[in-house]
Amino acid sequence: MSLSDHPRVYGTAALTVAFLAGVLVTLGFKDLYPELEARYQRRKKRYGSRAGPEEHRGSFLFGPVTLEDREDSVMLARSCDIVDGIEGTIGNTPLVRIRSLSEATGCEILAKAEFLNGAGGSPKDRVALSMIQAAEEQGLLSPGRGDTIYEGTVGSTGISLAVLARARGYKCHICMPDDMAIEKSDLLHHLGATVERVPPAPITDPGHFVNLARTRAKQHTASDSPSRGFFADQFESQANYTAHVRTTGPEIYAQTRGQLDAFVAGAGTGGTISGVARYLKLEAGLTSVRVVLADPQGSGLYNKIRYGVMYSSTEKEGTRRRHQVDTMVEGIGINRITENFEAGRSLIDDAVRVTDEQACKMARWLVEHDGIFIGSSSAVNCVAAVVTAMKLPKGSRVVTILCDSGTRHLSKFWKHIAAMGLEGDKSDEQQREEDLFEVLGINKNSLR
């Protein structure tokens, strides 16, 4: 072969190599591209035009390609992990877009599905585990010694404590008002807890359910038994709000990629709203996020946030119908400032008051339009999320909390919904024509 033929040979060889390489790349990419495209479409559907800080879109051969971190893969790996005990099922709950509320408001309303926590089925799983772990670190609880956890609660915290107490080698004793839904105390009994249902009383009364639990714990510790009584003290324990600083807040931040405009939640102990607010505003640096309190009728926290005075018209002499907050809503609403609420009070920007009627109608609306079956406090949160969304620009993102399932509220809240005549069948056309704001009695024009 002459030297003059070398360029032709080299050129032919180069074309052959390039052709083979192209075939191999095409064969490999045909499997890779559908996954990239599927991930892009899922992200586009999820966030619309909002792109996270790690997202860059280009026109690489086949159109839009998303470059992102491996968080989705990590979350998938976690969901496939084997967890150690019931404690491992707590946290990493889904963030659900509530379609009907989002469409009605023109904003994206997302709800943290805390009723899917695997221990007690509420955000109190996080709190109960945090309080028990803190007590164990301090030597106040020791497995196998016969120790008992005492708590005063209207339900959810007691259920979470009862589950985790058994799992970690303790007994559980719950004091609760006797006007709470009976299925809560029934469930506690089945979980092996001792339950004292006591008449409602002011917090200044020694017979108040929280004070009684404290007394029972002291009596246990002072007895001749080698075991100890531990009063969990959810209203004042710092382990309450710090559980949400460590877990709920970071989860919301990660699930939204830090892109949210408001966080809405009610307050019983105040741990959830304070903990999430502290994480988002102080640790994540989202200072522009509006934190909004969802408060049921009869609670004094609405006026405390709005006007700086703890007051409710139902506190007038002779007007209060119940010893506790004058509402059928359970789990949120209070007429005193707890340590947990105080921990985040300065970070709360606004408050929305929700009537019992609005809560009932919202709960029924969510069943009919979204298939979501929730309890009373979750319904209050959703009404407040709608009001908050209407005060924000179109396209804003509002996050709230779905606390527990409606199955814990059958004998009271959902019974009342039925009595209001809200459970009658509606035609598809009637449902389509329903206006959320008319149903809730809200003048949306006054909000925007």
DSSP annotation string for 172-224: EEEEEETTS-HHHHHHHHHTT-EEEEE----TTSTTSHHHHHHHHHHHHHHSS
Beta strands in 325-426 (DSSP E): 350-354, 397-402
Whether residue 68 has pLDDT greater than 50:
no
Average pLDDT of the chain, as a whole number: 86
Kindly indicate the confidence band of residue 312, based on its pLDDT and cuts at 50, 70 and 90: low
**Residue spans per domain, the chain:** 87-117+244-440, 123-231
H-type alpha helices, 95-171: 99-105, 124-137, 156-168
- Does the annotation mark 124 as catalytic? yes
Give the CA distances from residue 350 to residues 273, 289, 302, in Å, rounded to whole numbers and listed in that order: 12, 11, 8
Residue 174 phi, psi dihedral angles, 5° rounding: -115, 130
CATH number for the domain formed by residue range(s) 123-231: 3.40.50.1100
Closest CA to 332 of 171, 114, 117: 114
Q: How far apart are CA 361 and CA 58, in angstroms?
A: 46
Domain 87-117+244-440, classified CATH 3.40.50.1100, yes or no: yes
In the beta sheet, which residues pair with residue 172?
Answer: 149
% of the chain surpassing 90 pLDDT:
73
Please write the tens of the pLDDT for every residue from 379-433.
Answer: 999 999 999 999 999 999 999 999 999 999 999 999 999 999 999 888 888 778 8
**Nearest-angstrom CA–CA distance, 273 and 66:** 34
Mean pLDDT calculated for residue range 97-102 = 98
- Rounded to whole angstroms, how far apart are CA atoms 444 and 77? 43
pLDDT score, position 81: 82
Compute the chain's Rg from CA coordinates. 27
Residue 231 tokens read as: 């009063």
* pLDDT per residue as tens digits for the range 3-44: 445 555 455 655 565 656 655 555 554 454 455 455 544 444
- β-partners of residue 113 are 402
Asked whether the predicted pLDDT for residue 167 surpasses 50, the reply is: yes
Do residues 362 and 383 make contact, with C-beta atoms less than 8 angstroms apart?
yes
Q: Which of 112, 124, 361, 412 is catalytic?
A: 124
The helix, strand and coil proportions of the chain, stated in percent and rounded to the nearest 5, come to 50, 10, 40
